[in-house]
Amino acid sequence: MKRILAISIILGAMISIHAQTPLRFSVHVDPQFAWFNSDDETVKPDGSIFHMQAGLQMDYFFAENYAFALGVGINNMGGNLLYADSTEFSSKGETLLVEPGQSVKLNLQYIDIPIGLKLKTEELGYATFFLQLGFNPMINLNAKATSEDASIDKEDIRESVNLFCLGYHAGLGIEYKLGGSTAVIGGIRWTSGLTDVTDNDRANVKLNAISIHMGILF
């Protein structure tokens, strides 16, 4: 987190020197609720979890109010799943067994590389409103399973989680100018998965999240 903030401040200072540049940089820290959905009755969503994500974003303005947005960050997601059938997770070469009727909490960490389009309004006083749409290619860094029912405590299950995950996002927000090119950002963002998270062949388990987008634009 400290490295991300330091890099953002340095990049923002460099960009602010060139007032006419089409590039803008921002750093954000977003609290979010994440949960799963499933297309099979044997694996059911069983509640959401609260996590944080943080990262950098670069906006390239190809027109006055239109920009390509590219970011990179650490995204912590997950949720609870209730299994109707016996399920096995692989953990460092060992097998973790989940019996029917037992619930498991999955904490998943990804490198998130969101890419999309940002549309802004004209400046109204000190405020500018924006809409952002795009995709979220993500690479799994860490995966932990916890279940009181199955006596599992933060076990590493990366072997049972797909390395790559793809989702999409849509968000609304506001930029409020503080002075010069610096502004604070606030908004809300919806994220939904397009690909299966786990290697369970019986069900397609996908991630969802709703987050409060908070940051500083340089």
196 falls in which pLDDT band (50, 70, 90)?
very high
List Cα–Cα distances, 14 to 56, 64, 181, in angstroms: 15, 21, 12
25 falls in which pLDDT band (50, 70, 90)?
very high
Q: Is pLDDT of 37 > 80?
A: yes
Cα 203 from chain centroid? 22
Pairing of strands 66-83, 102-112: antiparallel
Domain count, the chain: 1
Q: Where are the beta strands (DSSP E) in the chain?
A: 23-38, 43-45, 49-63, 66-83, 87-91, 94-98, 102-112, 115-120, 127-147, 152-156, 164-179, 182-193, 205-217
Mean pLDDT within 32-58: 95
The pLDDT score that the predictor gives to residue 17 is 44
How high does pLDDT run on average in the chain?
A: 91
Alpha-carbon Rg for the chain in angstroms: 20
The pLDDT score that the predictor gives to residue 93 is 85
CATH at residue 116 = 2.40.160.20
Distance between CA atoms of residues 161 and 105, nearest Å: 13
CB 183 within 8 A of CB 177: yes
Q: What are the φ/ψ torsions at residue 3 (nearest 5 degrees)?
A: -65, -40
Express as a percent the part of the chain with pLDDT over 90: 82
Q: For the segment 148-191, what is each residue's pLDDT rounded down to a tens digit?
A: 989 999 999 999 999 999 999 999 999 999 988 899 999 999 99
The pLDDT score that the predictor gives to residue 118 is 97
Q: Is pLDDT of 18 > 50?
A: no
**In which domain, by residue range, is 166 found?**
2-217
The pLDDT score that the predictor gives to residue 180 is 83
0.85 exceeded by the pTM?
Answer: yes
Q: For the segment 77-127, what is each residue's pLDDT rounded down to a tens digit?
A: 999 999 999 999 999 889 999 999 999 999 999 999 999 999 999 999 899
Express as a percent the part of the chain with pLDDT over 70: 90
